[in-house]
């Protein structure tokens, strides 16, 4: 019997229907505008996909609208680990529930919500559990979400029945809803969580596994390291794609921070913009990877590499790396830049070869 | 006798053979032999010796080869059973093998290749005794010159990927001859060209730059310009690409290559929709190749050996592998001069390549003539667009790019809508199609078109064949909505049910030989 955690954010999505571009902090307003909770209805589509393995799972959840009500409708074996206060729950409820799930050591955590919920789940569990998001919120940017609730259920089912399931790390992103309501998109990369590997874009037989995606990251790392020039600073941007470069050089790294190396030795981890500007001289290169699903190469999640730093390094010394799967997730969209310097953004526009493997590049367009 | 109702085109009662057939090495039984040779007569041994003891010691193997020990009858049974478990070209309607140009290959060509005049000759025979096949190779070269506009062909490459590799080798030799071999280390190709157009040059040590398609499915010209530099050695492209979209601006690409001193190489593995319509030379290419086992109707894949007929313009002839076949006005002969010149890339295969394949292609071309070849292209395009129109009328089928325009000889469709509606993937449909005895192919990897299907009817299927294929697809799409479980658990009527595909992604589990399998599974050799 496998333990599957379920956390439903019952208010997720309420702001969307009434034009509020999210529900964070505006629940009362959404209610006044007539929004009704629909998260559980959508989550039920995911549970539907789990019915065929009903006898193999116990669902661990919270009372009432955070899971219990729905699970009981389906008749799954259920265990309640936390009492919800009322139907209109808050972030605290999500975070507390997720922490309980870590203690419970559930095999998989299924949660229903949007980017805000994903962020809260991430704060509570970091990389301790494997999670799948059921998209029921307004903003769905993180790759932790399946493309629809049914698919979330299917991914969960496959993961549960698989004897050696594979996982991948995906970004937890969120948009500042206050700014978004003013039509300003400000995304932030919060961190990475583990999710079942989904063979959505890559073929099953040849290039379709997390193993081959990781292998591609290592191919890129070998290509980069072999071509590293002497007496040149390399700024290594954040992300799981750049990580193998540091691992290959046997250097400590920060996943969310910016690291600096020189002659294949570490100068410093986790530098600020100021530190970068103070340290850099002579030849410098920047190695960065776009944010998964969005394509931002500057201005999201790596603000330390500011316009001033980019100007100092020079456009021709920017090396962009990404696996083919990561580029696939952009679905044909361009790479994006959004630094604090509009003129620089314009200068960065144009075509660039993104390193996708050993001695391999794919031409991509950069737009601002 | 029970009549089969063919009003419904879908063959619901198909059932593939399924044998619990071990690998031939597992069938071995010590001492069992196919043919037992009689012992030598003692008088003969007394007179001439045992025939073995005079062999110098150093020439003996240390141990006997580990071949299976098995009787003829069991060998025959083994391979017949394997053949029954194969969805062979003569059993199913091969429309589902897009990009492979699997057409009906007339059996008469097979018969010709099996004539003793072909099977019992050897490349080392005196040329005067093999004038027939030399003439055929010479004339096939001439045909291909006419078809492509190139100045010389060579039949040594034994497949498309090898032909691509030879093109990359020629590009390198060409640039080396101009003192630019070290500088020009990049090859440009496109996402929708065959993966070998990148893979084979990469094996040759080239760096690869891919060009994405633009919104119409053509390779993005601006991206191409940005990728081009003094480091560019060559450009490898298929046209039409796998999408079936013909790049009408291809000359602009080849022109840019000329301007930067790089070569343009045309992957015409599949040229079925272009015979007699367009030529590589006029499109500005310096080299091209044709897969005789595709367009030129020699059986494909496991049906027989292959040939990637490679053609070049005159200034590249000196780099070709050799020998070439020439005619001095009286006799045909192997011209070894090419191999002995310092520019040639050398041999890539023994002798002149796979001669029976060239014979089959020659026979096919001769049976059709110039008009017939053009007719092949025309019918292949018409058939494809008939299927295109029929399939696009289905709600769940779509095809990206150049909306409303025709395609050449194949189309990469998408069933993304079906996936979004039902969660059924293109691989699920692929497995279900086997239950009706049909091949179905998705796409090269990775999937740039979501949930892809690639279909290519060629000129040989009848309208009835195409209608049956379409009807079967429609039937399966309907099942996806009404009974998705039957698709998810498919195939039910095929040899294999669902495989655990994890090992496919794990090099540690790959075993490409019996010895490697034993090693990796820690089984003991018996």
**pLDDT exceeds 60 at position A99:** yes
Is B299 contained in some domain? Answer: yes
Share of chain A above pLDDT 90, in %: 49
Is B237 contained in some domain? Answer: yes
pLDDT: is B220 or A239 the higher one?
B220
Shortest Cα–Cα distance, A63 to chain B (Å): 30
Shortest Cα–Cα distance, B423 to chain A (Å): 6
Please tell me which of the candidates B224, B420, B505 has its beta carbon nearest to residue A208.
B505
Q: What string of H, E and C letters represents the secondary structure of chain A?
A: CEEEEEEECCCCCHHHHCCCCCCCCCHHHHHHCCCCCCHHHHHHHHHHCCHHHHHHEEEEEECHHHCHHHHHHHCCEEEEEECCCCCCCCHHHHHHHHHHHHHHCCCEEEEEECHHHHHHHHHHHCCCCEEEEEECCCCCCCCCECCCHHHHHHHHHHHHHCCCCCEEEEEEEEECHHHHHCCCCCEEEEEEEEEECCCCCCCCCCCCCHHHHHHHHHHHHHHHHHCCCCCEEEEECCCCCCHHHHHHCCCCCCCCCCEEEECCEEEECCCCHHHHHHHCCCEEEEEECCCCCCCEEECCCCCCCCHHHHHHHCHHHEEEECCHHHHHCCCCCCEEECCCCHHHHHHHCEEEEEEEECCEEEEEEEEC
Is B193 contained in some domain? Answer: yes
CATH number at residue B348: 3.40.640.10
Whole-number Å distance between alpha carbons of B228 and B220: 12
* Interface-testing mutation among B446, B453, B501, B504, with chain A (most A C-beta atoms within 10 A): B446
Please tell me which of the candidates A207, A353, A363 has its beta carbon nearest to residue B445.
A207
Quick check: B212 and A332 CB within 8 A? yes
Whole-number Å distance between alpha carbons of A302 and B360: 61
Helix (H, G, I), strand (E, B) or coil at B410: coil
H or E element that contains B430: helix B426-434
Whole-number Å distance between alpha carbons of B2 and B23: 38
Chain B residues within 8 Å of chain A (Cβ atoms): 191, 198, 202, 206-212, 220, 222-224, 226-227, 420, 423, 427, 442-448, 450, 501-502, 504-506
Is B10 contained in some domain? Answer: no
Per-residue pLDDT, averaged over A35-57, amounts to 87
Q: How far is CA A337 from CA A213, A290, A300, A307, B217, in A?
A: 25, 10, 8, 10, 25
Is B305 contained in some domain? Answer: yes
Which is nearest to A290 in space by CA: A253, A261, A331? Answer: A331
Q: For residue range B300-358, what is the model confidence (pLDDT) as tens digits?
A: 766 668 999 999 999 999 999 989 999 999 999 999 888 788 999 998 988 889 999 99
Q: For residue range B260-290, what is the model confidence (pLDDT) as tens digits?
A: 999 999 999 999 999 999 999 999 999 999 9
Mean pLDDT of chain B: 93
pLDDT: is B227 or A114 the higher one?
B227
Which is nearest to B217 in space by CA: B407, B426, B409, B425? Answer: B407
Q: Which residues of A touch B199 (CB under 8 A)?
A: none
Which is nearest to A327 in space by CA: A304, A359, A361? Answer: A361
Is B259 contained in some domain? Answer: yes
- Residue B493 — pLDDT band, cuts 50, 70, 90? very high
Q: Count chain A–chain B contacts defined by CB atoms under 8 A.
A: 87
Domain count, chain B: 1
Q: Which residues of B touch A352 (CB under 8 A)?
A: 226
- Residue A176 — pLDDT band, cuts 50, 70, 90? low
pLDDT the model gives residue A207: 33
Quick check: A206 and B445 CB within 8 A? yes
Quick check: B504 and A365 CB within 8 A? no
Q: For residue range B45-70, what is the model confidence (pLDDT) as tens digits?
A: 999 988 888 889 889 898 888 899 99
Q: Which CATH class for the A2-196 domain?
A: alpha beta
Residue of chain A nearest B198, judged by CA positions? A360
Q: Residues 6 or more apart from B147 whose CB is under 8 A from it? A: B271, B275, B276, B279, B290, B373
Quick check: B209 and A362 CB within 8 A? yes
């Amino acid at each position: 019997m496998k333990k599957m955690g379920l956390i439903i954010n019952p208010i997720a999505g309420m702001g969307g229907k009434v034009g509020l571009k999210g529900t964070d902090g505006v629940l009362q307003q959404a209610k006044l505008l007539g929004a009704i909770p629909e998260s559980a209805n959508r989550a039920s589509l995911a549970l539907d996909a789990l019915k065929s393995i009903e006898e193999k799972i116990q669902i661990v959840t919270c009372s009432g609208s955070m899971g219990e009500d729905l699970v009981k409708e389906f008749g799954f074996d259920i265990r309640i680990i936390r009492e919800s206060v009322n139907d209109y729950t808050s972030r605290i409820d999500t975070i507390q529930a997720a922490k309980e799930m870590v203690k419970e050591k559930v095999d998989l955590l299924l949660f229903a919500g949007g980017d805000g919920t994903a962020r809260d789940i991430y704060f509570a569990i970091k990389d301790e559990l494997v999670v799948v998001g059921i998209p029921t919120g307004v903003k769905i940017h993180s790759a932790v979400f399946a493309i629809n609730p049914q698919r979330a259920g299917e991914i969960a089912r496959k993961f549960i029945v698989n004897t050696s399931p594979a996982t991948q790390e995906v970004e937890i992103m969120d948009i500042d809803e206050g700014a978004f309501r003013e039509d300003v998109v400000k995304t932030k990369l919060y961190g990475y969580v583990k999710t079942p590997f989904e063979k959505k874009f890559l073929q099953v037989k040849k290039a379709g596994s997390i193993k081959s995606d990781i292998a591609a990251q290592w191919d890129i790392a070998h290509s980069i390291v072999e071509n590293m020039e002497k007496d040149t600073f390399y700024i290594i941007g954040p992300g799981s794609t750049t990580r193998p470069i540091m691992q290959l050089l046997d250097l400590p790294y920060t996943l969310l921070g910016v690291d600096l190396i020189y002659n294949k030795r570490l100068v410093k981890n986790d530098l600020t913009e100021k530190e970068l500007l103070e340290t850099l001289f002579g030849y410098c290169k920047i190695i960065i990877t776009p944010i998964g699903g969005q394509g931002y190469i500057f201005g999201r999640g790596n603000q330390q590499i500011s316009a001033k730093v980019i100007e100092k390094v020079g456009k021709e010394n920017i090396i962009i790396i990404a696996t083919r799967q990561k580029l696939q997730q952009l679905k044909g969209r361009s790479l994006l830049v959004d630094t604090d310097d509009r003129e620089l953004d314009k200068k960065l526009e144009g075509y660039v070869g993104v390193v996708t493997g050993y001695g391999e590049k794919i031409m991509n367009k950069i737009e601002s | 006798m029970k009549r089969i109702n063919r009003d419904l085109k879908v063959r619901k009662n198909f059932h593939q053979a399924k044998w619990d057939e071990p690998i031939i090495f597992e069938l071995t039984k010590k001492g069992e032999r196919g043919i037992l040779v009689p012992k030598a007569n003692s008088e003969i041994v007394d007179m001439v010796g045992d025939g073995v003891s005079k062999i110098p010691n150093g020439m003996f193997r240390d141990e006997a080869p580990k071949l299976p020990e098995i009787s003829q009858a069991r060998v025959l049974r083994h391979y017949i059973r394997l053949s029954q478990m194969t969805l062979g070209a003569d059993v199913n309607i091969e429309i589902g093998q897009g990009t492979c140009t699997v057409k009906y290959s007339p059996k008469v060509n097979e018969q010709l290749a099996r004539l003793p005049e072909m099977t019992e000759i050897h490349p080392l025979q005196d040329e005067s005794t093999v004038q027939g096949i030399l003439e055929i190779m010479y004339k096939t070269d001439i045909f291909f010159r006419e078809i492509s506009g190139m100045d010389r062909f060579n039949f040594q490459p034994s497949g498309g990927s090898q032909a691509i590799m030879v093109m990359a080798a020629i590009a390198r030799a060409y640039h080396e001859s101009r003192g630019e071999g070290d500088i020009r280390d990049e090859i440009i190709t496109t996402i929708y060209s065959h993966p070998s157009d990148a893979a084979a040059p990469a094996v040759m040590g080239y760096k690869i730059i891919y060009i994405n398609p633009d919104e119409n499915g053509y390779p993005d010209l601006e991206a191409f310009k940005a990728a081009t530099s003094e480091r560019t050695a060559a450009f490898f492209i298929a046209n039409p690409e796998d999408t079936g979209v013909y790049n009408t601006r291809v000359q602009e690409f080849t022109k840019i290559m000329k301007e930067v001193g790089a070569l343009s190489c045309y992957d015409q593995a599949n040229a079925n929709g272009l015979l007699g319509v367009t030529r590589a030379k006029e499109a500005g290419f310096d080299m091209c190749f044709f897969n005789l086992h595709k367009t030129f109707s020699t059986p494909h894949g496991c049906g027989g050996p292959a040939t990637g007929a490679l053609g070049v313009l005159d200034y590249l002839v000196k780099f070709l592998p050799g020998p070439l076949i020439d005619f001095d006005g009286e006799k045909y002969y192997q011209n070894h001069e090419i191999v002995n010149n310092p520019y040639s890339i050398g041999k890539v295969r023994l002798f002149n390549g796979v001669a029976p394949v060239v014979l089959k292609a020659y026979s096919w071309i001769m049976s059709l003539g110039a008009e017939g070849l053009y007719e092949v292209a025309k019918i292949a395009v018409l058939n494809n667009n008939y299927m295109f129109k029929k399939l696009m009328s289905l709600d769940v089928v779509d095809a990206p790019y150049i909306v409303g325009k025709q395609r050449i000889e194949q189309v990469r469709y998408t069933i993304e809508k079906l996936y979004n509606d039902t969660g059924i993937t293109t691989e699920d449909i692929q497995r279900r199609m086997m239950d009706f005895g049909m091949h179905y192919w998705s796409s090269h990897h990775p999937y740039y078109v979501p949930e892809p299907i690639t279909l290519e009817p060629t000129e040989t299927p009848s309208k009835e064949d195409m209608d049956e294929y379409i009807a079967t697809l429609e039937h399966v799409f309907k099942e996806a909505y009404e009974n998705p479980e039957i698709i998810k658990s498919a195939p039910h009527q095929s040899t294999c049910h669902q495989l655990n595909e994890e090992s496919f992604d794990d090099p540690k589990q790959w075993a490409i030989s019996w010895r490697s399998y034993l090693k990796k599974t820690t089984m003991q050799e018996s």
